[in-house]
């Protein structure tokens, strides 16, 4: 297998010089750069995905990095990204977890779309540059080369809780996602603000920490039932946890919503089948918009103002009115 030392030996340069060329640094002369790139091409040193960018240094490939815990959630986002990317003659690489960082290099990809809480802010701030723009879908970062395309969580969550309160519900539990995520923080803040505006007390013992997976919602519901102090409504920070909670309640003979109401957030594929009240996020459009902004920034049309995606509330059978519970 050809390695960077082989390239350096054949070019008659140091390994660091080859590395600088591969990382598109400007401290290498044009003649030396062209010589190294030619040798790389002759020896097939580059991955195929970067092959067409060898001479130009523009691979016309973008990277989508997402958390690999619920692929069905990401499918519509990926479809939106893929459609825009293909229409604009770019290629798309999809990867998860830490393996992504090695591809976030402008000799391999032209820019990245990030939806992964494990990708640290400091890594993104270090990598983002004029010749390597990034779009993030899960946070807001103040960086001249990072565009934030995020869901407007606060208003729809507040409106959802107000709608539940207007239907007569007076006590609440909350199942949160990973506490460090911006989505969870914003949804929980809206939940607490809506209760406070209606003079409804919320005790911290009614908060259950989850991880956006179905099992964590199931576990939270089991723990809640052991307390024998069921709230009128259990609000979950996403649909997966809400669905897990509904399954646990039904397994234990509790009726949703007659014994306890449940709400989610996302409008995943199972939400309609489960009759789950939720907030619908237009995920196809979310991916499409992210890809559009990234490619525009790659092409020099700099735009890093935060873009917020609106979501809408869908009331279904998991929330009724309090008169129906008697």
Query: From the centroid of its chain, how far is CA 214?
Result: 17
All structural domains of the chain? 4-47 (1.10.260.40), 57-151+284-309 (3.40.50.2300), 153-281 (3.40.50.2300)
> Residue 45: what pLDDT?
67
Q: Is 45 exposed, middle or buried (0-12, 13-18, 19+ CB in 10 A)?
A: buried
State how far the Cα of 114 lies from the Cα of 143, in Å rounded to an integer. Answer: 14
- d(CA 89, CA 69) in angstroms, rounded, equals 30
Any residues with CB less than 8 A from the CB of 136 and at least 6 apart, and which? Answer: 113, 114, 115, 124, 146, 147, 148, 149, 150
Alpha carbon of residue 59 to chain centroid: 24
Q: What is the pLDDT of residue 52?
A: 44
C-alpha span between 111 and 128 (Å, rounded): 8
Cβ pair 241, 282 in contact under 8 A: no
Q: Where are the alpha helices (DSSP H) in 228-282?
A: 239-251, 269-274
Query: Please, are residues 33 and 74 in contact by the beta-carbon 8 Å criterion?
Result: no
CA–CA separation, 272 and 141 (whole Å): 34
pLDDT recorded at residue 324? 52
Distance CA 298, CA 280 (A): 30
Q: CA-to-CA distance for 123 and 225, rounded, in angstroms?
A: 42
What is the per-residue pLDDT for 68?
63
Contacts of 40 (CB under 8 A, 6+ apart): 7, 22, 46, 54
Check residue 69 and give its pLDDT: 57
pTM over 0.85? The answer is: no
What pLDDT was estimated at residue 193?
Answer: 98
- What per-residue confidence (pLDDT) applies to 98? 65
64: helix, strand or coil: strand
Backbone phi, then psi, for 251, in 5-degree steps? -65, -25
Q: Do residues 232 and 204 touch, judged by C-beta distance below 8 A? A: no
Per-residue pLDDT of the chain in tens (326 residues, 90 and over written 9):
567 788 888 899 988 888 777 766 667 888 888 888 888 877 766 544 444 444 445 678 999 998 765 666 788 899 999 999 988 889 898 887 666 888 898 888 999 999 988 899 999 999 999 999 999 999 999 999 999 999 999 999 999 999 999 999 999 999 999 988 889 999 999 999 999 999 999 999 999 999 999 999 999 999 999 987 899 999 999 999 999 999 999 999 999 999 999 999 999 989 999 999 999 999 999 999 999 999 999 999 999 999 999 999 999 999 998 655 54
Residue 225 sits at φ, ψ, to 5 deg, of -65, -30
Burial readout 5-14 (b: 16 or more C-beta within 10 A, e: otherwise): eebbebbebe
pLDDT at 106: 84
Q: Return the structure tokens found at 257.
A: 């919503």
Q: Given this model, what pLDDT does residue 139 score? A: 93
């Amino acid at each position: 297998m050809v390695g960077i030392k082989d390239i350096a030996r054949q070019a008659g340069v140091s390994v660091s010089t080859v590395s600088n060329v591969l990382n598109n640094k400007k401290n290498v002369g044009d003649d030396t750069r062209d010589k190294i790139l030619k040798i790389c091409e002759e020896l097939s040193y580059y991955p195929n995905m970067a092959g067409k960018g060898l001479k130009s240094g523009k691979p016309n490939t973008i990277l989508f990095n997402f958390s690999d815990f619920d692929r069905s959630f990401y499918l519509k986002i990926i479809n939106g990204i893929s459609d825009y990317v293909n229409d604009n003659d770019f290629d798309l690489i999809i990867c998860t977890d830490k393996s992504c960082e090695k591809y976030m290099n402008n000799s391999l990809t032209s820019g990245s779309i990030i939806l992964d809480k494990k990708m640290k802010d400091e890594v993104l701030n270090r990598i983002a540059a004029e010749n390597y723009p990034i779009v993030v879908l899960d946070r807001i970062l103040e960086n001249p080369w990072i565009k934030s395309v995020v869901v407007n969580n606060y208003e729809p969550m507040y409106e959802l809780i107000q709608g539940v309160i207007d239907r007569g519900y007076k006590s609440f539990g909350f199942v949160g996602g990973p506490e460090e995520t911006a989505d969870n923080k914003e949804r929980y803040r809206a939940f607490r603000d809506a209760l406070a505006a209606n003079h409804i007390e919320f005790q911290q013992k009614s908060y259950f920490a989850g991880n956006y997976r179905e099992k964590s919602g199931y576990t939270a519901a089991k723990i809640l039932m052991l307390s024998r102090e069921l709230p009128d409504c259990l609000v979950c920070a996403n649909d997966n946890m809400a669905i897990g909670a509904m399954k646990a309640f039904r397994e234990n003979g509790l009726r949703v919503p007659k014994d306890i109401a449940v709400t989610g957030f996302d409008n995943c594929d199972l939400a309609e089948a489960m009759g789950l009240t939720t907030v619908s996020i237009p995920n196809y459009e979310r991916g499409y918009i992210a890809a559009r902004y990234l490619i525009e920034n790659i092409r020099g049309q700099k735009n890093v103002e935060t873009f917020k995606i609106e979501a809408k509330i869908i009331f279904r059978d998991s929330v009724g009115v309090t008169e129906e519970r008697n």
